[in-house]
Structure 1
Amino acid sequence: MAAILMIYGCGSVGMRTARLAKEAGVEPVMGGRDAVRVAAAAGSLGLEWRTSTATDADALSRLLQGARVLVNAAGPFRRTAPALARACLRNGCHYVDVSNELATFRDAWSLDAEAQGAGVALVPGAGFATAVVEGLASHVLDRIPDADTVTIVRSSPGAVRSEGARRTASDLLAAGNWRVRDGVLAPGPNRIADFELPEGRRSAVPIGSGEMFAVAQSTGVRNVAAYFTTRTGPVISRLAVPLARTLARAGSFGPPRAGRQGTGRLGAGSGQGPAPAPSMIWVEAKNHRGAAEAGWVHGHGTDTTAVIALELAQRLGASRLSGFRTSGQLLGADYTLCLPGLRLTDF
């Protein structure tokens, strides 16, 4: 890309995306909120850098000067995405992020008309947590095209490690259960569900996540729900999850202090932190007669997210697309499900 690729955020995903870009012959500019941290991160890769908080409109315009595409890898995204997306609209820069928060998707979707008028594309969810889920859903729906219900279950065998990812998981928990029902986004029942997964029987928490919104948008299926598995049994989960949601909303259920490994047991949601083992996604599609098809994907969230974010940035940098788009709409299942490190199983 001749114009600047700006990568905002120097955590695990931001650094891996920047490294991949440089290996591909693209010299991105690193951006972020903390000048010391951004300078060190950019210096380790021999890259230029800029800083701006997400609350200073003038500083954000300077940050985006000359930029064609911004990749936002700085969570929690409820604090960074709205301001950065609007800065991109003002400055004619395509916006990509790696979020999985429902609020981020709804906010970007609300800006669709403005983005089309500005000639800017807004693409939240450019990572494992959304793009791969969309690809898997599309793949499963090909085998049952009259399906009217999609269920998404995400499972991770270990704790979320990065601070940004832990905060994202806390935000998802605090948001409560939302689902798409009859084509409308609505609150769902706060009930723990049990699923027979390829890894065994697991209890799962209903979560209103970005992937649920994205699958409904990209596939047109009228009923979509998402769940994250827990490491606790069904009885403890039924008792603990309502309390955990309340604490998360109050800000008392957050990540451990920096430097300490997380001990939370909610499955990883954002794909930002390095996982000790592959994250797993199960998608089932059903029709009104009760017939069902399912698929299962294993993969490393952070590595896959960096690849997807860079691919989208490069495609947008060479395109004139505008408006709200999902990553799955732009990439398609043939791309996302064939990425290195992913393993697909049909059921």
Structure 2
Amino acid sequence: EAAARGMRPTLAGRDANKLRPLADELQLPLQAFALDDAAGVAAKLEGCALALNCAGPFSQTAGPMIEACLMSRTHYLDITGEIDVIEGAAAQNEAAAAAGVVLLPAVGFDVAPTDCLAALLAAKAPSATHLELAFNTPLETSPGTTKSIVETIPRGGRVRRGGKLVRVPHAWRAKEIPFADATRWAATVPWGDVASAYYSTGIGDIEVYLGIPKKQIASLRWLRWIAPLVGVGFLQRLWKNHITRTVRGPSAAQRRKTKAQLWGRVTDGSNTLAEATIETPNAYTLTVQAAVAAVERVLATPPAAGFQTPSRAFGADFVLQFPDVTLHWRHGEANC
């Protein structure tokens, strides 16, 4: 997509052999390096205005890349949906601002569209104290996303209360969510918006829900009992190796036929102040669209240096520019 828009990115990763076919097909430069030496990575980034990290799990790649980007004064973007990665970037705000570097994690489906939805809702209801977000993506996850989920299981769920991150059991709360296309059951998950939406809206109480069939919610709650076991190092390695061998993600045909559904609501703790839904293309297509658009915008007109979220960097309507994205207000104003 970036090459189709006239950009000439350098493809980078640990294994040149895996990258070479794509680099040859698109006639793009290629670099191969590991992330175990931040100074070495910084040297590789010299002369690069921006780095887009697409290598998950981001718990393993974001920290070294951010450190290297601060050294080389390279803007950093990624497509994470991991709470700790977003919080880690936020913790580097002062260092990034001093270096003139933009740190903008989560510019893919996780969390650009929900972050924009949160900001739109907050703008309609400045007095809101509670934010609920939900999403439904019926497609199989990619290997990197699946590994990220495996890493989060031992940590349990998380929500935000009074501005603080709070640990809760898996599937702590469950309820029916009125998405644009159908009402579905959903349960709380430790998703990136628990981190990012706080910085975008200032709302202190945040919960994020994932659409899950009601029968599967009970199964998800069993994770409460096996979570400590899943955290054992060698079991994590075995599970991730199995994911590498078996998980391929959805096909192009599956992606074309699928849409993602988002829902959000802000309240004052008891009364609904604003509520809306957004329908988007499938999560993979939207990730490509949003990430490439974010790269273009940062290169053309960088937002303020330091930590940013998608809606803070580009405005709450950022996600509405993409094809087949529809916003429906249930409280607020006309649909678009």
Residue 230 in structure 1 maps to residue 212 in structure 2: yes
Matches of 2:122 and 2:34, distance apart in 1: 42
Structure-2 change in CA distance of 1:235 and 1:329 (3 Å): closer
Point out where structure 1 has 5 or more consecutive residues left out of the alignment: 1-19
State yes or no: 1:217 paired with 2:199.
yes
| RMSD over equivalenced CA pairs, Å | 2.5
Amino acid of the structure 2 residue aligned with 1:165: T
The offset of 1:156, in angstroms, is 1.8
Per-residue CA deviation, residues 212-256 of structure 1 (Å, 9 max, x unaligned), is: 211110111111111223245166336423246445433265574
Q: Output the TM-score relative to the length of structure 2.
A: 0.86
Q: For residues 78 and 126 of structure 1, what CA distance do their matches in structure 2 show?
A: 16
CA distance in 2, matches of 1:274, 1:173: 27
Is the partner of 2:87 in helix, strand or coil? helix
Letter in 1 for 2:153: L
Q: Which residue of 2 aligns with 1:207?
A: 189
Superposed, 1:22-37 pairs within 5 Å as: 22-37=3-18
| Aligned positions of 1:47-58 closer than 5 A | 47-58=28-39
Q: What's the counterpart of residue 323 of structure 2?
A: 340
* In structure 2, C-alpha distance between the alignment counterparts of 1:225 and 1:25, rounded to whole Å: 39
CA 1:99/1:284 → structure 2, altered by over 3 Å: closer, same or farther? same
Aligned equivalents of 1:292 and 1:136: distance in 2? 14
Q: For residue 72 of structure 1, report the CA deviation from its aligned partner.
A: 0.2
2:31 and 2:106 mapped to 1: Cα distance? 24
Rate the CA distance shift 1:255–1:228 in 2: closer, same or farther, 3 A.
Answer: farther
Which whole-Å CA distance do the structure 2 matches of 1:237 and 1:119 have between them? 47
- Identical counterparts, % of pairs: 23
Unmatched runs of 5 consecutive residues or more in structure 2: 331-336
Matches of 2:162 and 2:61, distance apart in 1: 31
Cross-structure match for 1:75: 56
Q: TM-score when scaled to structure 1? A: 0.83
Report the alpha carbon displacement of residue 261 of structure 1 after superposing the two structures with TM.
Answer: 4.3
Partner amino acid, structure 2, of 1:177: G
1:153 equivalenced with 2:139 (yes/no): no
Q: Aligned match of 2:295 in 289, 313, 332? A: 313
Please list, as runs of the form range in 1=range in 2, the aligned pairs for 1:54-65 lying within 5 A after superposition.
Answer: 54-65=35-46
CA distance in 2, matches of 1:342, 1:220: 25
Q: Secondary structure at the match of 2:246?
A: coil
Residue identity in the other structure for 1:212: V
Alignment of 1:298 with 2:284, yes or no, is no
Give yes or no for the alignment of 1:187 onto 2:173: no
Q: Give the secondary-structure state (helix, strand or coil) at the position aligned to 1:21.
A: coil
Query: Secondary structure of 1:159's partner?
Result: coil
Which amino acid letter does the alignment assign opposite residue 337 of structure 1? L
- Which whole-Å CA distance do the structure 2 matches of 1:232 and 1:81 have between them? 34
Q: Check conservation: 2:177, 2:263, Cα contact below 8 A.
A: no
Out of 153, 158, 164, the residue aligned to residue 178 of structure 1 is: 158
> What is the aligned length?
318
Alpha-carbon distance in structure 2 between the residues aligned to 1:185 and 1:257: 29
